[in-house]
Structures are given as structure tokens and as C-alpha cells.
Chain A
């Protein structure tokens, strides 16, 4: 990790690049800094806090936030008095670990790398664009970034929302959408794809803070097209957040308020006053996009984002350089994360021959055997954390108190237990004092337990012979005003830990070997891409396709919105898959049965028909689920009843044909036919783009065609917005309809009649047309059955649910199973490809490693006590407990590789047959008793 670095140049080519960097001085020695924060308290100069969007002040020497990585302070040279004026240096003697070093110089650095991944993020909309909304003129007009910091509990106002003008709590707020997006005034024609979501989020958070506040979101289209995103909008509407479809012309100060001037669809101009206005600013290309392009020679698109193609969404125009995240186009976190994994597999393919040569394998001394016979020798280390703990808690007293406890062979204090020198000291002490258990009373195990466990391993102790006490969060922080009680509580916690520590045992590090093969379910674009990506990594897959031919839904499409011809791509891809030695294709096949767990699955595939029907068993380490979806055919709007009513897909096929009258003279398109609250409850994400694609095709063939698109929200997000604009320029008429007044279609001889309420003219319209095209949405294919077989949860709409919506978007809840394509959610082809590559990246990880490590704290069943009731099996959320036959009886057994150590089984077992490694009943009871001991002795003393 190289922070504070400028990227200056890139030489060489794929497989052999040299990147030139300049690392700016931080003026703080990262190895010595313990992030105690004392320097910031003493620094006399103020400095605008850019982390908090300038809403707070910090000091030139600071850290942005406590969890920053690296957790090293930083001196901003632009405002430091020593760097600028050669004075001050107050911080230098204040720092107790002597970490401040003003002699640091800029350090040029060359990196030899085989590939480059560009993920520079996005930039901010220029403030000139915000001026018409009185941003900068009135303090109560803020950007969404600023507002985000205002609502944050850890932000500068501790989450309290007040107007900057006079400190009152705003009672009426407005969010203005599309500021700097879909705006040709600032040359940003594209949609930023995230603002609708964050505006709804911020509005919901505001309502949590103050349910009384009146919130209006002024929008053109609400683009919550992502998976289950519409539900959040509905939630927002349900709690009274108002959505007004309007274009806001300007915002002007008006007394103590802000006056919004806006025009609604029906051409009315209106005014409204609000206390505070939040601007939903869009995502620009990153500020240094031009420079990156110059250095790396990659091409940019017309908006200065990285140029990519539909079928290679993560590949830049230069070999060996791939892209991920918002630089590829505005996008949200889940999609960025997905692209990152996809970019990783692409870079990995480039570097395949060099795999493993750069990695470092650390070696540890042999572990000392610790058995029950050995005398328990506990070492207690009490950390001062600079003054973070010791300013409240009397650390010497806590340490001394521990010294008097049973089994404690050694106790001491550290200024910083986590510092490099303290680590060495702890290692040495373990050896010198022959310690076989270690208790450290310091900060949170969440952040520091792995570090201390590493120290134990370095000293030759099993890492589980360790107990951590959090006397910072639980004592010095929460009882900052009561030092005495904080010290007493620290003593209690340490005593409990010591008592537990006496019972802890070394736990073996378990590993399970992995069969380096994959099972890919579904032979559409997602499955093929995933299998091919794995094949490129050198891994074998079985590609299982339900129909007689691989290709999936892409076979039904003719071209993409960007104009790419699909057949050619599909042909090349199919040929590559068929040619690959690493892929076995089984068609007319379904998964009949699967057993096992990550690394060791065994599946039965049923294939062929009639006499040719056969079953084959495959052993494999991972499963990629790419079972896809299909076009929904709602029994609505005369679909299937009138020949003049078709789906967008049927229309696309017709338009690609040769018939003379294939582009009708008049056509009405109905968006969300069957979606978003009719028989499907969700948005299918692709239909708006599909409709626009067809309108443009019709206009190309028959420019005089009259096209009317009836829609709810046009969701041409990202760069597709350009096509929407083009359609409007070519005369396509777009009219929104309300949910309560959906259009009505009736057959009228050779034509069809559409009745709808025109929200622009505010009148009922009845028109006959040559053709009606329905945007019908996508439904998942067979997820119900598969979800039962693989124990995968599905959403209310039947799509597979990911392990974490934001951070683990392609992993399933079950380890070793990965999801991509339409089986995950409806999405366009470029997103499917990126997601399939991401799924392949995640699936490749255990295959590369060849084994899975199991955290030693997993559950284990004492089979003698087990009565085979099966409660644990039914409760385990990860399918990690199986019943097996032992003799004639049924007994439970933990599948360690799948266990997440949640402890549900252990808590529910009626015979206490299940225990958790590191949290046995004996250990916990002893810990609780130790707490009670003190209470009892206090009572004795009091009486």
C-alpha cells in the first residue's frame, strides 16, 4: 500500500510495465506513529477538514478518521507552520513515540508490474453549476456530500441537523435531483446513476432523526432500477416523503427561507419555500482523468470517463490495463465492487504465468505443546494507549490487581501494546517467563486481535491461547467522567478474562483441500463468460445447459443500445467455449443432486432425453450459478390475444427482419407492463433501454413513424441517457402515466386502441395505432428448485440473494457458491459480463489456494452426548451441520469448512453436546463466575 503518492509515468507493455511514482512526505514515521492523537491536540494552526467537506476544522497534523488505513497521522504541508514558515514544531516533542520527522523528502519510486488496474473513482461537479441554486450564496443550500457528513453520527455535528443560517432545526427540506447530471448546460448529458438512491437514503435518515420534518424530492425520473431499490422508494413514500416530478429552475433566498421555482410536466410554474435545500450532485469523471489518459495512453469517452466496449466492459483501449469502478462510468458501490473482482480476474489472466511468484509466505516457529498437565502461566499486559486509556483508567492499579490473581505468572503495562517495540517485548516475555496464556487489556479485538494473535504465533504459542479485554471502548471511553468506576470495571473485566484464560486450550489450525474444478450452471452469456474466465486461469469447469444449445437469451437479441451486433460476439464466444480444453459442455442437462461443501462438492447431472438419458457424477470445489431468466409474459394489455400487441423482444426481431412494413407508421410502447406493482413487483432494469433501442431502430427505418412511449420513470441510466435524448430529438413522444391510471389496450379490427391519460396535456386520450409494444420485464428461471437443492436464499421476487448486498455482491450465503447474471437480478449484457467475471474471480480464489482454512473457533459435536434430535441442523443458517449414521444412531456432525462459528447450534442443543472452539461452556461459566466472585466479596465486605 503506497499512499500520498502521485502517478507520474508508465513505461513498457503488458506483462512488463514500469510505473513511476512520487511519494510525497507525510512527515510522520508510519512505523512509529501509534495514532494516539496527541499531536493534533497541541497543533496550534487551524485547517479546513476536507474529510468533513469543509464543515469542520481540524489541524494541519491530523488523521481523517479513527479507522483510517494506514492509521498514521499526516501533516498537510499546505498549512503546516513549520513546512511553510520554518516555525512552530510544537508537535515534535509532544509525540511520545518520536514519530514526527520533518526531514522526510519526496521519494521517487519505480514499480515493476505486469498489469495495471485503474480505479481512480470520480470527480465533483464544478461549483459554477451549483450557483443557480444559490449554492455558495445561501448557507442553507448544501450538496448531498455535505449533507451526508451532517447526518453522520460521527460527523462534525454528531448527526444533529441544523440550518447554518441561524441554527434552527429545518422543518421543511428539498432535495433537487440531477444537479450536474442529465444537464447539457454543464456538458454532462449522462445520468449519474446513484443520486436517486442516495437522496432517498438521506431523506430516510433525516426522517429517522426527526419524523416531523417535511421532505420533498424534486425529480425528473426516479431511477431506482437496481435490485430491490424500488422497495426503498416505496418505503420513503410510505413514511410521507414527497416526490414531485418537476424541473427546478432556480433557488433564491427568501427571508429566512429558500424559494424554489420549478415547472411541472403540465407546464405550470410553481414556487415553494423550504428551510434547507440539498443538491443531489452527480458524478463527474475524475479530475485527473486527462492526466491518467496521457500517461497510460488509454482513450476516454466523450465525457472523459474511461472508454470501454459493451462486450469488454472492464478492458481499456490498452492491453494489460483494466478499469473498475466509477471511472468506467458512474455507478454505485455494489457494481464497483463487482467490477473490481472482474478486473482482478482479467489482470490475473494477463499475469497467469507469474502467479505466486510475488507473494510472500511468512514462516513461524514450531508451536509449543501446551497440555492439561502443564502449569497454567498467564501473562497480563495492560495498555495505556498513550493517554487514551490511562487518562481515565488507573492502568498501574489494574495491572497490579491482575498480578494477585490465580495463575498469573507475570503482569506489566505498555504505553502502546500494539507498537512494534511492545510486540517484540511481549514475544520475549512469553519466552523468558514461559507464559502459556496471554491476556491483553487494551482496545477492540475487532481491530487488534489478529495483530496480537500474530505476536503469539511468532513467539511459538498457539494463537488461541489469547484473551483480549477491551478496556478502552468499554471503560475509558464510555465512563470517561467516572475514572474510579472505569478502573473498577477494568479490574472486573481483566479478572473475568484471566479466569477464562485458565481454561482455554490450543486449537488446531484446520485446512480442507479443494478440488480445483468448477460446476457452472447455465450456458448463457453469464455462464459462458464465467467458465471461460476460469478456463483462462487454468481451471476446468463443467458447463451445464438446460436447453439443447448454449447461448441463452443473447440469441434473441440482435444488437445492443450502443449499436454492437450481438450475433457476431455470441458466435465468437460460443466457439471459444466449445474449443476450450478446460470446459466440458453438457446440454439438455439439469442438476439432479448436490452434496458437500466448499472445496468438496459432488453433483449428479442428468442429461439427454429418452433413451439417451444418463446421469453423471462430477466432483468439484465451487459452483457458479448462472441459471438466467426469461421474458415475462403478463396476461395484460391484450398480449397473446391481439396480433398487434407484441413484446419489445418480438419487436426487435421484427425490426431486424426484411419485411417492408416492419417499422410501423404508428406505435405505442407501454413501459412497466406487468412490472413494478402489476404481477411483478420489481423493476427489470433493461426495459427502458430496450424500448429506446427499438424506437431508434424504427426511426432509422421509417423516420415518419409516430412513436409514443408511455412510461413511469425512464430509467436510461448512465450513458444510455444520450440515446434517450436522441430519441426525443428524433420526435419520439414520451408521456408518463400514473400507477393509478395505467393505459388500457383494446383490439380494434386490424388495429389496436390505446386509452390513456395524457399527463402533459391533462386530458384523456384515445388513439388507434398499428402496433403496441410492451416492455414486459424479466423473471428468474428455476431459482425455486435450485434454492432448495443448494440451500441458497432467494429474494421475495425469486432472485438469488447475495451474501452482502453491498460488499459481497456475487457470493452466495453458502460458501463456495457464486451467483451472476439474470439469476441474481435483471441487468443489461455489459453488467452481466462484468458480474460473471467477478463470480469467476471469487470462484477462482479457493481453487488457486487449493485449500480452505477453517477458523478454529468453529463448533464441534460431542457425539456421545448427541441424541440426534436434529434441532441444530434445522437452525444452522449455513447448512454447516449434517446428520450422519454412527452405528444405528443418528448423530450430528459439523462441516467445519462451512461453519461460521455463530454459535446458534451450541446455544440450542438440549444436551449441551455442541461447543464452540474458544467459547466452551466451561470457559464462559468460569468467566461469569469470576464476575460474580467480586460481587460476592463486595457484599461480604459491606456486611
Chain B
């Protein structure tokens, strides 16, 4: 992703950098588009980054 100062075509804005936004961003780039992932807090990750384990497999969340 990185910085893009020029305005480009084929871009999409994703509002919210939680697990949903991150997944959508990855998928959009894999589908051939430029992504602006816009997050209001200082880091992406959302609520999932605060979780210890995930249900039902108790895998680590981070």
C-alpha cells in the first residue's frame, strides 16, 4: 500500500481498519485495485487485536 500522493484510478476507500476492513483491503488488492484503508485510531487491528483467543479453536488472536 504505502503512500500515494497522486490520485489514481481503480482505487477504493475502506472505512475502518478492523478485521473486516483489513480483510477487505487484502482482497481488493488481490483483485487488482488500489486501496486506501482509512482508520480513525493510530493503528489498524480493531477489536480483534485486543482479544486473547478466538472461539471455538482458542487460536491466538493476534
Contacts and interface: CB of A to CB of B under 8 A. Distances in A.
B32 to A, nearest CB: 4
A4 B30 contact: no
A117 B24 contact: yes
Interface in B30-46: 30-34, 36-46
B44 A3 contact: yes
A interface majority secondary structure: mixed
B24 A333 contact: no
Given A1-B1, A21-B38, A354-B10, A324 B31 contact: no
Nearest to A231: B56
Contacts of A122: 47
A345 B14 contact: no
A348 B52 contact: no
A336 B22 CA distance: 11
B23 A205 contact: no
Contacts of A163: none
B56 A228 contact: yes
A119 B24 contact: yes
Given A357-B8, A359-B10, A336 B19 contact: yes
Contacts of B33: 347-348, 351, 354-355, 358-359
A44 B36 CA distance: 36
A1 B39 contact: yes
A5 interface: yes
Nearest to B21: A119
A119 B58 CA distance: 25
Interface string B2-30: 10000111111111111111111101111
A841 B23 CA distance: 12
A204 interface: yes
A121 B44 CA distance: 12
A810 to B, nearest CB: 11
Contacts of B21: 117, 119, 324-325, 340
A50 to B, nearest CB: 9
Contacts of B39: 1-5
A145 B50 contact: yes
Contact of B31 (A118, A119, A845): A845
A112 B11 contact: yes
Contact of B20 (A19, A337, A354): A337
B40 A358 contact: no
Given A5-B39, A26-B42, A841 B14 contact: no
A507 interface: no
A1 B12 contact: no
A115 B31 CA distance: 14
Contacts of A2: 36-39
B57 A805 contact: yes
A79 to B, nearest CB: 14
A605 B48 CA distance: 43
A806 B54 contact: yes
Contacts of B49: 51, 64-65, 67-68
B18 A121 contact: yes
Interface string A165-179: 000000000000000
B58 to A, nearest CB: 7
A149 interface: yes
A470 B25 CA distance: 30
Contacts of B32: 348, 355-356, 359, 848-849
A53 B51 CA distance: 11
Contacts of A849: 30, 32
Interface stretch (A193-201, A241-249, A388-396): A193-201
A844 B31 contact: yes
A1 B37 contact: yes
A592 interface: no
Interface string A105-135: 0000011111111111110000000000000
A30 B35 CA distance: 19
Contacts of B1: 1
Contact of B53 (A19, A114, A205): A205
B18 A325 contact: yes
Contact of A841 (B13, B18, B31, B51): B31
B15 A7 contact: yes
A812 interface: no
A282 B62 CA distance: 22
Contacts of A5: 38-40
Nearest to B15: A118
B19 to A, nearest CB: 6
Interface centre among B8, B29, B32, B46, by most chain A C-beta atoms within 10 angstroms, is B32
Given A115-B12, A359-B32, A340 B17 contact: no
Interface centre among A74, A151, A845, by most chain B C-beta atoms within 10 angstroms, is A845
A356 B14 CA distance: 18
Contact of A333 (B19, B38, B43, B44): B19
B25 to A, nearest CB: 8
Contacts of A848: 30-32
Contacts of A345: 27, 31
Interface centre among B2, B9, B38, B59, by most chain A C-beta atoms within 10 angstroms, is B38
Nearest to B62: A67
A356 B10 contact: yes
Nearest to A336: B20
Interface string A56-75: 00000001110111101010
Contact of A332 (B9, B30, B41, B55): B55
Contact of B13 (A17, A53, A121): A17
B38 to A, nearest CB: 5
A848 B33 CA distance: 11
A4 B41 contact: yes
Interface string A829-868: 0000000000001101100110000000000000000000
Contacts of B57: 805-806
Given A17-B13, A119-B18, A69 B30 contact: no
A148 B11 contact: no
A118 B25 CA distance: 11
A69 B44 contact: yes
Given A2-B36, A201-B53, A116 B15 contact: yes
B31 A116 contact: no
Contacts of A115: 12-13
A201 B19 contact: no
A113 B13 CA distance: 6
Nearest to A147: B52
A356 B10 CA distance: 7
Contacts of A152: 52
Contacts of A200: 55-56
A64 B43 contact: yes
Interface in A250-304: 292
A120 B24 CA distance: 12
A153 B58 CA distance: 13
A3 B31 contact: no
A622 interface: no
10 contacts: A5-B38, A65-B62, A68-B42, A68-B43, A198-B55, A325-B19, A340-B23, A351-B10, A806-B54, A848-B31
* Chain A to chain B: the 10 pairs with minimum beta-carbon distance, closest first: A325-B20, A358-B34, A358-B10, A354-B10, A344-B27, A340-B23, A74-B42, A119-B20, A119-B21, A357-B10
Interface of B: 1-2, 7-25, 27-34, 36-59, 62
